[in-house]
Amino acid sequence: MISAGDFRNGVTIELEGNIFQIIEFQHVKPGKGAAFVRTKLKNIKSGGVVEKTFRPTEKCPTARIDRKDMQYLYNDGDLFYFMDNESYEQIAIAKDAIGDALKFVKENEMCKVCSHNGNVFAVEAPLFVELMITETEPGFKGDTATGATKPATVETGATVQVPLFVDQGETIKIDTRTGEYLSRV
């Protein structure tokens, strides 16, 4: 149990049958009346953000989130298969629990599988990946003065905006959190 007076950014709590992560918190002591804690909470399973106020003495149970490194093997329709490299145990995760997390991840790459009480609710891709461009239009010499970009399809099928000088067949580095091109490899 954690009291609202001890809230910090990143702490996960159980509230009304859901799991929330504290994005922002603020202790407020108005000139008149009792103090309170104003929070912005992100529902970990649905991704929705809500604002809620607590009394500083109010207590909530803390939620333990397990993050385990697992190797992404392959997908078969709506199921994605992961393997634990220590026990070689394989698990299948439904597409709705993963969302867009794997659009920049190739087969056999390591990911973090997040679970609460044994129930998997999310997969976190590595922060940066290196992928080869499979399809893009050729750039024209002299078009780089404006910092213009063009769409490029990478080997996982995702589309990324890249500078005009990047050509098909090159390997690029991508930030998976934003989906932005970082550099050529």
Query: Three-state SS string across 37-86, please?
Result: EEEEEEECCCCCEEEEEECCCCEECECCCEEEEEEEEEEECCEEEEECCC
Which residues of the chain register pLDDT less than 50?
A: none
Give the residue carrying structure tokens 């008149």.
32
Say what the pLDDT of residue 40 is.
Answer: 93
Say what the pLDDT of residue 38 is.
Answer: 93
Token representation of residue 115: 């679970």
Does 66-124 match 128-184 in CATH topology? yes
Q: Which fold has domain 2-60?
A: SH3 type barrels. (2.30.30)
Say what the pLDDT of residue 143 is.
Answer: 57
Domain 66-124 CATH class label: mainly beta
Say what the pLDDT of residue 53 is.
Answer: 92
Q: What pTM does this model have?
A: 0.70
Task: Measure the CA–CA gap between 59 and 125, rounded to whole angstroms.
Answer: 33
Q: Which CATH superfamily is domain 128-184 in?
A: Nucleic acid-binding proteins (2.40.50.140)
Domain range list for the chain: 2-60, 66-124, 128-184
